[in-house]
């Protein structure tokens, strides 16, 4: 896996497609590696004519880890948030947005379409706000503005998030990962358990950094409400959200779209907090139409039309 120097750290990355094609940057979510973007999704983007760039966020995958910062206490951070005391993470989401721009610069890419999912959507939002000249279009998938008062995860998802593996052996870690994905996944488009097991096992073999997940959670918590930054975004913006998202309820997507001037909101029935195979064609159609300026209020992407 190739890597590059950006923003003072080492970042692992992967590219697909013709380097002379229009660049599209994919930003992964909390604790997720670049491999979390389904291969079929990446291949579909390449077929649509994009030069696709994926990378491991700091503290994930094969990129620089911040183990020297230790593993922060999430309980203490939660108490601080309740009384609105400042949370001081080892790094911020703004730092991670700087990483994203650093990846483009290291690859010689001046501007790119930017697509982020979950925490990656937050990073993409900040990137579009802070570096408007580098973002052709913004697509924020199953993400949030971070505004206080928005609904949080369902009770089932909270329980799944708080559970810990019985042991740290591979089987227990895989079992834990599968149960978590089942809790946050799309109810109408469930991923078969065997497929989930393969996916989780693949990710664990590539890298496992639990402390990095905690540090990223702290970065999200410290960022707080991004509404002021969202209001400054000038890039054409598309917000995609699942109507059945139990991790980040649809109100979060609606709020994000309302905060960005002229943003297009697409709520997908039956979609949870994942990228199910059954919806990849629809997501590709949305991103393609958005990137080509065809997302008028009355338009329906070609792949949506029922035959």
What pLDDT score was predicted for residue 164?
79
Instruction: Annotate 167-188 with DSSP letters as a single string.
Output: SSSHHHHHHHHHHHHHHHS-SS
Query: Using CA atoms, how far apart are residues 80 and 86, in angstroms rounded to an integer?
Result: 7
pLDDT digits (tens, 9 = 90+) for 85-144: 677 889 999 999 999 999 999 999 999 999 999 999 999 999 999 999 999 999 999 999
* Cα(37)–Cα(15) distance, integer angstroms: 12
Residues in the chain where the model's pLDDT stays below 50: 297-307
The domain segmentation of the chain, as residue ranges, is: 3-304
Judged by DSSP in three states, 49 sits in coil
CATH 3.40.50.1820 fits 3-304, yes or no: yes
pLDDT at 87: 75
The reported pLDDT for the residue numbered 88 is 83
Which candidate, 284, 286, 299, 211, places its Cα nearest to that of 47? 284
pLDDT of residue 293: 87
pTM: 0.92
CA 91/CA 109 separation, integer angstroms? 25
């Amino acid at each position: 896996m190739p890597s590059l120097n950006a923003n003072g750290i080492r970042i692992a990355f992967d590219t697909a497609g013709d380097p002379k094609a229009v660049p599209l940057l994919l930003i992964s979510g909390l604790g997720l590696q670049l491999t979390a973007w389904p291969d079929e999704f990446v291949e579909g983007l390449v077929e649509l004519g994009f030069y696709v760039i994926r990378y491991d966020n700091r503290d994930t995958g094969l990129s620089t880890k911040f183990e020297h910062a230790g593993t922060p206490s999430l309980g203490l951070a939660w108490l601080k948030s309740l009384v609105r005391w400042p949370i001081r993470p080892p790094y911020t989401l703004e730092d991670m947005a700087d990483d994203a721009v650093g990846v483009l610069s290291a690859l010689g890419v001046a501007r790119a379409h930017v697509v982020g999912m979950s925490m990656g959507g937050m990073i993409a939002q900040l990137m579009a706000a802070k570096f408007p000249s580098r973002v052709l279009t913004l697509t924020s998938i199953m993400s949030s503005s971070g505004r206080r008062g928005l609904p949080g995860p369902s009770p089932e998802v909270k329980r799944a998030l708080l559970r810990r593996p019985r042991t740290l052996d591979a089987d227990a870690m895989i079992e834990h990962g599968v149960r978590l994905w089942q809790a946050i996944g799309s109810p109408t488009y469930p991923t078969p358990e065997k497929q989930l097991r393969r996916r989780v096992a693949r990710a664990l073999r590539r890298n496992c950094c639990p402390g990095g997940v905690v540090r990223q959670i702290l970065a999200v918590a410290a960022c707080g409400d991004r509404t002021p930054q969202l209001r400054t975004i000038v890039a054409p913006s598309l917000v995609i959200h699942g109507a059945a998202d139990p991790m980040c309820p649809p109100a979060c997507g609606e709020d994000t779209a309302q905060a960005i001037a002229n943003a297009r909101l697409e709520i997908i029935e039956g979609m949870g907090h994942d990228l199910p195979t059954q919806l990849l064609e629809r997501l590709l159609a949305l991103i393609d139409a958005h990137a080509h300026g065809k997302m008028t209020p009355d338009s329906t992407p070609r792949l949506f039309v029922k035959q």
